[in-house]
Structure 1
């Protein structure tokens, strides 16, 4: 697996032509030991199953998978320790989404995956101009990451069945903001395929003069 702080040597040194999506899996490597964790677990498990299927489609399309994860407040920690910590007591959610060798892993210190991380540098090197945001929580880290992505002109798909919040109401509220204020596609994977979304987003791009 690629660590964004120690990139794989096959990662291009220069920015590439931007014309492909990346899947961001946000905070699903998680110990679920925070307040209200029990409230979000059922929805997170359902989202994990959807993310796993979507991840397969992304991998078959030859596009990058990027884990974007909190450090649990452990400032001396790194990727393997975070994964081991999340898996310590057996964790079906994290266990279904363990990073592969070809995945990237970025540790974030705050809500947004773009804040104080290498993500803004990594995405252009991978030729990414579209982001599929998945994970938890819809109304916090997914929302903040979406806002930063929107300000950087990334096309967004945030499938409602691939994200989870503590309550259905909070999740719906956040999805409406992302759809209405950030032009994000939020329909579930049962209604939109990866190929359909990529094709539609290409059609929606302004013609080059």
Structure 2
């Protein structure tokens, strides 16, 4: 369990152009989970808990987060991006592969900020969220997955991924409405 370990919400790949082969399937699920993603981010911000966006770079190797946000807002699904935009206090890490940790500075960022517990939301449950939960687990971070704030491409694989995260990685599964962040400390 998380005890008193300091938490951070990690928002995975929500800054998205939705310009890929699985976009139509993903968009349907994102629309369903968007309110819970907003609730998760809002509760974290209200409590002073760090919100860290970790996002694909869309193959734009010279881009920084403002350019990625601009590209997503110019895309055909800006309505799915605008409600969950980073604010001025949000942290932003660019990734190139599925895991939020793979060749990114995230682990160092978490350690420098004294964070031992990550609360994951975003997309896609059976890919980036699953691989990120595994990488967090093997790095000895406590993991919570907000089950109603993670979007999927394939519902059956997403359910299997959630079960794997809970059973094999000890991840805590919660709904956004049940999240509690006391101050900037660990989740209860």
- Matched residue, 1:113: 100
Do structure 1's residue 183 and structure 2's residue 166 form an aligned pair?
no
- Matched residue, 2:187: 198
- Deviations 1:106-150 (CA, angstroms, capped at 9, x unpaired): 000111111111101100111111110011100111111111100
Gaps (5+ residues) in structure 1?
1-17, 200-209
SS of equivalent to 1:69: strand
- What pairs up with 1:18-33 in 2 under 5 angstroms? 19-33=5-19
Aligned residues of 2:44 and 2:181 also touching (Cα < 8 A): no
Do structure 1's residue 144 and structure 2's residue 148 form an aligned pair?
no
Return the structure number with greater strand share.
2
- Matched residue, 1:4: none
SS of equivalent to 1:67: strand
- What pairs up with 1:43-192 in 2 under 5 angstroms? 43-89=29-75, 91-190=78-177, 192=178
- Deviations 1:147-183 (CA, angstroms, capped at 9, x unpaired): 1100111111101101011121111011011011001
4+ aligned runs moved over 6 Å, structure 1: none
Select the structure of larger CA radius of gyration: 1
SS of equivalent to 1:112: coil
User: For 2:102 and 2:113, how far apart are their aligned partners in 1?
Assistant: 19
Aligned residues of 1:134 and 1:158 also touching (Cα < 8 A): yes
- Deviations 1:57-103 (CA, angstroms, capped at 9, x unpaired): 11121110000000011112111110000000451111111110100
Q: How many residues align?
A: 181
Report the TM-score when normalising by structure 2: 0.91
Aligned residues of 1:132 and 1:156 also touching (Cα < 8 A): yes
Aligned residues of 2:118 and 2:143 also touching (Cα < 8 A): yes
User: For 2:52 and 2:181, how far apart are their aligned partners in 1?
Assistant: 19
Displacement after TM superposition at 1:194 (Å): 2.0
